[in-house]
């Protein structure tokens, strides 16, 4: 006897098959910072609640040079995940984005992105390739508000005042400056966050540097960042485990009052919110001081970005998710997850009035005319890939500041030639 399925059974079979075909698994590669993972987790869960046929498979990667190499290798071999996070600015340009990354110029969500962000994710062919993932950041120095209060210290506006504060903190038996060279990328701050001061002393440095007319080793203003690394090491201001400590350790030390200072980008507050939430308001922040108190300002980093490789098989779903990330709702969800660590570059996504103390410390720089300046990597396409290894060596007393600056000039030369820049 021949079995003839009922119309209802046929409909159910068809619906089940359709659902199975419709489910899409989007692969994701993220760096392993707690706040990055927390933000993506919140965004993806909210998106899946709206789109139950989509799943996200998240893989973590290290930060710093190891992470850079992994991203470049995956892109070059066609094995990159459907979504990945990475720097904007000069490191983005080093990915050859006009070839390797999907074009997001016509993404509807780009209408929500503040225009100042778009140039730092625009490839040489004029196409926008990324969307902001997180807030803009300041580069400077976190400080322990408790230690400052206990020792009667005031926020420094010159490097000499900063070093005097360090000496008092050391004399009180505390770590003056936390460093975390176990995460090599974190060693770069004294050099990179000093660019506001470099530009005050040498206003054309970015253009001259790009045009091979200025060098770190022969520019006293640019050389100062390397000298700062050497000076805090020689003065004995560092934590004993500075060579092995990691980024989260540094943020914990300054948040709990174990250390007086930690040079870092302002996204670091997300780590405190995730790991030491009771200490969020025990951390203050100030711009890295230079030689002139009258010209004290903040070096600013644009947010990292989310990208998709050009060969993604799930590009339609990825683009729809990116539209959500770039929405006011998505932005506010990131802010609620990691706290307000800086201004977000999504229209209508304002910071709340009750921001943490360190964020309140940062905002006056943005509100003052000329109080901020983009980091060099957003004004020049050149950033040598080995800076973090060089700054670890200088900051550990292995290499002198002068030799470190010379090594970085050589590193930069290789990068400029790879990019085919004129005069190199």
Domain boundaries defined on the chain:
16-134+304-338, 137-301+361-419
Q: How far apart are CA 129 and CA 308, in angstroms?
A: 8
Q: Is the separation of the CB atoms in 165 and 286 below 8 Å? A: no
CA 157 to chain centre: 24
Q: Is the separation of the CB atoms in 150 and 142 below 8 Å? A: no
* Burial class for 74, CB neighbours closer than 10 Å (0-12, 13-18, 19+): middle
So what's the pLDDT on residue 22?
56
Average pLDDT estimate for 400-405:
98
Taking the CB of residue 396, how many other CB atoms lie within 10 A of it? 17
So what's the pLDDT on residue 129?
98
Q: Is the separation of the CB atoms in 354 and 183 below 8 Å? A: no
Fold of 16-134+304-338: D-Maltodextrin-Binding Protein; domain 2 (3.40.190)
Confidence of residue 343 (pLDDT cuts 50, 70, 90): confident
Q: Which residues lie below 8 Å from residue 139, measured CB to CB, with a gap of 6+?
A: 189, 192, 193, 264, 265, 266, 288, 298, 299, 300, 301, 375
Alpha carbon distances (Å) from 244 to 49, 168, 183, 248, 386: 41, 25, 8, 12, 19
Confidence of residue 6 (pLDDT cuts 50, 70, 90): low
Judge whether residue 378 has pLDDT over 80: yes
| Tens-place pLDDT, residues 280-300 | 999 999 999 999 999 999 999
Measure the CA angle with vertex 364, ends 360 and 365; round to 5°. 120
So what's the pLDDT on residue 156?
98
Judge whether residue 158 has pLDDT over 70: yes
So what's the pLDDT on residue 10?
45
Judge whether residue 1 has pLDDT over 70: no
| Tens-place pLDDT, residues 180-229 | 999 999 999 999 999 999 999 999 999 999 999 999 999 999 999 999 99
* Burial class for 305, CB neighbours closer than 10 Å (0-12, 13-18, 19+): buried
So what's the pLDDT on residue 64?
82
Confidence of residue 234 (pLDDT cuts 50, 70, 90): very high
So what's the pLDDT on residue 103?
98
Confidence of residue 278 (pLDDT cuts 50, 70, 90): very high
Judge whether residue 16 has pLDDT over 60: no
Average pLDDT estimate for 113-131:
93
Mode of pairing for the β-strands spanning 83-86 and 24-31: parallel
pTM value is 0.78
Q: Is the separation of the CB atoms in 177 and 238 below 8 Å? A: yes
Percentage of the residues of the chain whose pLDDT score is greater than 70? 95
Q: Which residues lie below 8 Å from residue 240, measured CB to CB, with a gap of 6+?
A: none
So what's the pLDDT on residue 350?
85
Domain 137-301+361-419 has CATH 3.40.190.10: yes
16-134+304-338 and 137-301+361-419, same CATH topology: yes
Helix (H) / strand (E) element for 305: namely strand 305-307
Rg (CA), the chain: 23
Average pLDDT estimate for 413-419:
89
Taking the CB of residue 25, how many other CB atoms lie within 10 A of it? 12
Judge whether residue 9 has pLDDT over 50: no
SS3 84: strand
Average pLDDT estimate for 376-381:
91
Q: How far apart are CA 187 and CA 242, in angstroms?
A: 10
Mean pLDDT, all residues of the chain: 92
| Tens-place pLDDT, residues 18-75 | 444 459 999 999 999 888 999 999 999 999 999 999 999 999 999 888 899 999 999 9
So what's the pLDDT on residue 308?
98
């Amino acid at each position: 006897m021949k079995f003839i399925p009922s119309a209802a059974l046929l409909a159910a079979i068809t619906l089940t098959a359709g659902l199975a075909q419709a489910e899409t698994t989007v692969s994701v590669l993220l760096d392993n910072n707690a706040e990055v993972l927390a933000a993506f987790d919140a965004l993806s869960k909210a998106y899946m609640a709206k789109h139950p046929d989509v799943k996200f498979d998240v893989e973590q990667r290290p930060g710093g040079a190891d992470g850079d190499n992994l991203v470049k290798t995956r892109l070059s071999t066609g094995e990159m995940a459907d979504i990945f996070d990475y720097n904007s600015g000069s490191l983005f340009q080093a990915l050859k984005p006009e070839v390797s990354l999907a074009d997001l110029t016509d993404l509807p969500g780009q209408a929500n992105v503040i225009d100042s962000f778009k140039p730092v994710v625009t490839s040489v062919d004029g196409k926008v390739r990324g969307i902001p993932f997180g807030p803009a950041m300041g580069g400077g120095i976190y400080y322990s508000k408790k230690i400052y209060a206990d020792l009667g210290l005031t926020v420094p506006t010159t490097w000499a005042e900063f070093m005097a504060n360090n000496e008092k903190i050391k004399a009180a038996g505390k770590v003056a400056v936390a460093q975390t060279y176990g995460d090599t990328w974190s060693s770069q701050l004294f050099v990179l966050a000093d660019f506001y001061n470099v530009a005050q002393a040498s206003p054309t440095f970015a253009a001259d540097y790009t045009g091979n007319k200025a060098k770190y080793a022969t520019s006293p203003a640019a050389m100062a960042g390397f000298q700062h690394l050497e000076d805090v090491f020689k003065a004995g201001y560092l934590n004993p485990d500075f060579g092995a400590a990691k980024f989260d350790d540094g943020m914990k030390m300054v948040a709990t009052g174990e250390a007086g200072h930690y040079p870092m980008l302002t996204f670091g507050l997300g780590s405190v919110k995730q790991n030491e939430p009771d200490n969020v308001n025990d951390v203050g922040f100030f711009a890295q001081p230079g030689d002139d108190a009258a010209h004290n300002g903040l070096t600013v980093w644009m947010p990292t970005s989310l990208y998709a490789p050009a060969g993604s098989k799930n590009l339609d779903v990825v683009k729809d998710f990116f539209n959500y990330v770039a929405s006011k709702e998505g932005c506010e969800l990131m802010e609620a997850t990691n706290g307000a660590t800086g201004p977000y570059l999504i229209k209508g996504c304002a910071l709340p009035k009750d921001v943490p103390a360190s964020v309140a410390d940062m905002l006056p720089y943005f509100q003052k005319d000329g109080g901020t300046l983009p980091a060099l990597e957003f004004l020049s396409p050149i950033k040598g890939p080995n800076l973090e290894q060089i700054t670890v060596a200088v900051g550990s007393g292995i290499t002198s500041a002068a030799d470190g600056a010379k090594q970085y000039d050589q590193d930069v030369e290789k990068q400029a030639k790879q990019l085919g820049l004129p005069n190199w």
